[in-house]
Amino acid sequence: MSLKIPSPPSRAVLEAFIARHQYLLQLERKAEEEQTRLLNSNCSPRLLEQRGLALGGLGVSNISVGLGGKNLIELHRPSAYHVNPQLPPHTFRNGDPVRIEAHVASNATLNGTKAKGKKKDDDEGAVEGVVYRVGQEKVIVAVDGSKEVDLPERLRLLKLANSVTFDRMDKTLLHLRRLIIPEDGAPSPHAQNFPLINSLLSIQTPMWCKVVPPNLKDEKELQWYDDKLNDSQKEAIRFCLTAENVACVHGPPGTGKTHTLIELIFQLLSRPASLTTALPPRILITTPSNLALDNLLLRLHFLSQLSPYNTVLPPGSILRLGHPTRVHRDLVKETLDYRAANGEEGELLKDIGGELQGHLGDLGKKRGERGAVKGKERGKKWEEVRELRKEYRQREGKVVTTVLGRAQVVLATCHSAGSRQLNNMLFDVCIVDEATQAVEAVCWVPILKSKKLILAGDPQQLPPTIMSKDDKNAEAGGTGGLQSGVENLKITRGGLQPPCTLETTLFERLESLYGDGIKRVLQVQYRMNEHIASFPSETLYDSALISDPSVSSRTLLDLPSITERDSDEAKDALEHTVVFFDTSGCEFFERTEGDGEGGGNKTSIGEGSKSNENEAVVVAKWARKLVELGVPASEVGIVTPYQAQVSLISSMLHDEYPEMTIGSVDGLQGQEREAIILSLVRSNPTGEVGFLGEYRRLNVAMTRAKRQLCVVGDSSTVGKGSKYLKKWMDWLEAEADVRWAGDEA
């Protein structure tokens, strides 16, 4: 595990490195804008809803004021339009840019004649904003407070292209460029975090000290908070504690990556930030997604209430930036929004916030409703709202600075680490969890605010989602000079390379720059029965994944909730750890959703999303069987790569088992269930496999199961997709309990 020492890059290579990133991001931005434009103009509202890109028939249930004086518009499914108040499956996530507009009749296309007549009215009532929170029954959208909100009664929520993220990444790259490639004649910039920045670009070599620094009590021996940590986890923590600039933790599925990071955070907080201070470090924890961040926050919050953890992280010292989460009611108190509004400092804001809320309440009333504001009065009232908001924002700025100043650990998504609240702050350590799911540019947002960096992830699981798939073949020229310098550049082998594609993450780039010496790998997995773990271990982790004895032989039959474990039926269904319903020869053909109405367009969630009805029937039957035999419905997860199949299976099972997770692979990374049913969907004579060709996505899907993995798919189609898929199909045929699917549908 020695560290490779690459030669430092020339100025031209550094320039090309930044320019290439800028160019690839521009391609990606264009692809995203084009896709949204195509989708919104070509697809019927019904198809957009099926693809999870729109939610129709919504009404406003409340309008309130949020941080930044924003209008928070709460949308729900009114009983006048829906029997079930729960939102159908969708892809809306916190932070997504959206548009709220009038609901158009569902059979109209937005660019069709019928819709054209309505479009003007739609635009008049529409507002754009950002998803603030998503619940089972509600979506809250934050809308710029300076705009008047006058929405029609029946609404639709529509996803838009996200330009804010791109703007922030562009700004970050420009900042980085100014730091490492100063303009001719400009003074040499100075930054306290140059050693980190330089080691990420191989301008200098990363360093480690020989021993773990003593803790705040001056104890030289490492005292573990969790004495159950295994040797590879302990080694990874030591490695990170001794790192002076950067270190990576590679965590294959179920190996306790997050568990290890939590111990690392407490170990960091137990020792001085540097040799020159007796104070503990301030830590910035980031992830690419809100979901992963909430997972970390939940664990930190829980431990911070227990001894001895609370000695280094007392209540009130964790702060979550960005949108308050939906995970746990207790967690809301850790958000900046809550503290700013409710702490001692928040008192400053309360009176003015109340007044604002009152005005907005009146303005939100519909015509004819008691207290509704009419005519000229509305204009006057909005003017007052604008003034109040100005005052609110000024007071709020002061409150935010005080609250942030007290936080020892700040959590933010990589993107929101660039928000103005963190301007001019420098953290001692930045941790990026799920770093292999983030494009490199977004990681630089928190990096530029930190002195030391810990990256955790698994390059064999989901990569960042990239739409401009042809970026690898991106041609030189015609790009406004963005690529200049790359073509004739002399690049030292093994040194810093301008990226070929945005899919190459910072984690992987550091691995190829410095070799295995830059990381430590966690080796013991605590999730899967060893039979389930054996295929991923063999094919993707050099057979090095060890199954902990506590999980290696467990089956569904051992679950305490199984009542008749001796019955033949229970044994037949529950004692097998890998089940394969091979649909080969059953003629269970796939279907492309929305054929004839824009369904052929490639989308991020659907490449003309596919479904397979017969397969869905087999899946539903197996799921019902497991639950009837005593497996809790909440412990059965159904995973499929296609959104259309998610919708189809949901329509069969959701009402019966609302607690059962039915989702796409992307939403399940980091999660686990006792039983996972995997529907592969693809079945065609030409062997096209689409999303299944991405082995990392498949790896995530097959490593979510603890006791049983059931695969439903067509081996003859899937086996043609790639060498990896062929190997998997052969393994399933040889190792799984193979069943004939023809009898099931």
Ligand X SMILES: Nc1ncnc2c1ncn2[C@@H]1O[C@H](COP(=O)(O)OP(=O)(O)OP(=O)(O)O)[C@@H](O)[C@H]1O
Q: Which residues bind ligand X (CB under 6 A)?
A: 228-230, 233, 251, 253-259, 526-527, 670
**Sign of the alpha-carbon torsion through 159, 163, 169, 172:** negative
251/719 with CB nearer ligand X: 251
250/320 with CB nearer ligand X: 250
550/686 with CB nearer ligand X: 550
Q: How far is the CB of 313 from ligand X (least distance, A)?
A: 18
97/463 with CB nearer ligand X: 463
44/461 with CB nearer ligand X: 461
183/227 with CB nearer ligand X: 227
Element (H, E) at 224: none
Q: How far is the CB of 431 from ligand X (least distance, A)?
A: 13
Q: How far is the CB of 37 from ligand X (least distance, A)?
A: 35
Helix (H, G, I), strand (E, B) or coil at 455: strand
User: How far is residue 133's CA from residue 141's CA, in Å, rounded to a whole number?
Assistant: 7
Amino acid at 415: H
Helix (H, G, I), strand (E, B) or coil at 321: coil
291/453 with CB nearer ligand X: 291
Q: Are 269 and 279 in contact (CB under 8 A)?
A: no
Q: Are 243 and 555 in contact (CB under 8 A)?
A: no
Q: How far is the CB of 234 from ligand X (least distance, A)?
A: 9
- Residue 356 backbone phi and psi in degrees, to 5: -60, -45
Other beta carbons within 10 Å of 259: 18
79/305 with CB nearer ligand X: 305
236/467 with CB nearer ligand X: 236
- Residue 127 backbone phi and psi in degrees, to 5: -135, 150
Q: Are 259 and 405 in contact (CB under 8 A)?
A: no
Q: What single string gives the DSSP state of each residue in 472-512? A: GGPPSSSSTTTTTTSTT----TTS----S-TTS-HHHHHHH
Distances (CA, A) of 83 to 58, 63, 478, 582, 605: 13, 24, 54, 37, 27
User: How far is residue 656's CA from residue 113's CA, in Å, rounded to a whole number?
Assistant: 40
225/526 with CB nearer ligand X: 526
Amino acid at 417: A
User: How far is residue 611's CA from residue 656's CA, in Å, rounded to a whole number?
Assistant: 21
233/483 with CB nearer ligand X: 233
Q: How far is the CB of 257 from ligand X (least distance, A)?
A: 3
Q: How far is the CB of 461 from ligand X (least distance, A)?
A: 7
226/733 with CB nearer ligand X: 226
Tokens for 657, please give them.
């088992």
User: How far is residue 599's CA from residue 403's CA, in Å, rounded to a whole number?
Assistant: 49
Burial class (CB in 10 A: 0-12, 13-18, 19+), 620: buried
Distances (CA, A) of 663 to 4, 172, 265, 645: 41, 34, 32, 9
Q: Are 472 and 538 in contact (CB under 8 A)?
A: no
Tokens for 599, please give them.
């369904």
257/673 with CB nearer ligand X: 257
Q: How far is the CB of 260 from ligand X (least distance, A)?
A: 7
Q: How far is the CB of 265 from ligand X (least distance, A)?
A: 13
52/254 with CB nearer ligand X: 254
Q: How far is the CB of 550 from ligand X (least distance, A)?
A: 7
User: How far is residue 36's CA from residue 42's CA, in Å, rounded to a whole number?
Assistant: 10
127/292 with CB nearer ligand X: 292
What's the half-sphere exposure (Cβ side, CA atoms, 13 Å) at 18? 21
Distances (CA, A) of 224 to 244, 260, 281: 21, 11, 18
Q: How far is the CB of 266 from ligand X (least distance, A)?
A: 14
From 396, 384, 415, 533, select the one nearest 164 (Cα to Cα): 415
Tokens for 289, please give them.
């997604």
Spatial CB neighbours of 461, under 8 Å, sequence gap ≥ 6: 253, 436, 437, 669, 696, 699, 700
User: How far is residue 745's CA from residue 288's CA, in Å, rounded to a whole number?
Assistant: 40
Spatial CB neighbours of 192, under 8 Å, sequence gap ≥ 6: 426, 451
The residue whose two tokens read 């939906």 is: 326
Distances (CA, A) of 487 to 25, 482, 638, 732: 18, 11, 47, 46
170/226 with CB nearer ligand X: 226
User: How far is residue 148's CA from residue 203's CA, in Å, rounded to a whole number?
Assistant: 51
Q: How far is the CB of 697 from ligand X (least distance, A)?
A: 14
Helix (H, G, I), strand (E, B) or coil at 442: helix
Q: How far is the CB of 242 from ligand X (least distance, A)?
A: 21
Helices 530-540 and 723-735, interaxial angle, to 10°? 150
**Residue with the CB atom nearest ligand X in the bound state:** 256
Other beta carbons within 10 Å of 408: 19
Q: How far is the CB of 657 from ligand X (least distance, A)?
A: 23
Q: How far is the CB of 638 from ligand X (least distance, A)?
A: 18
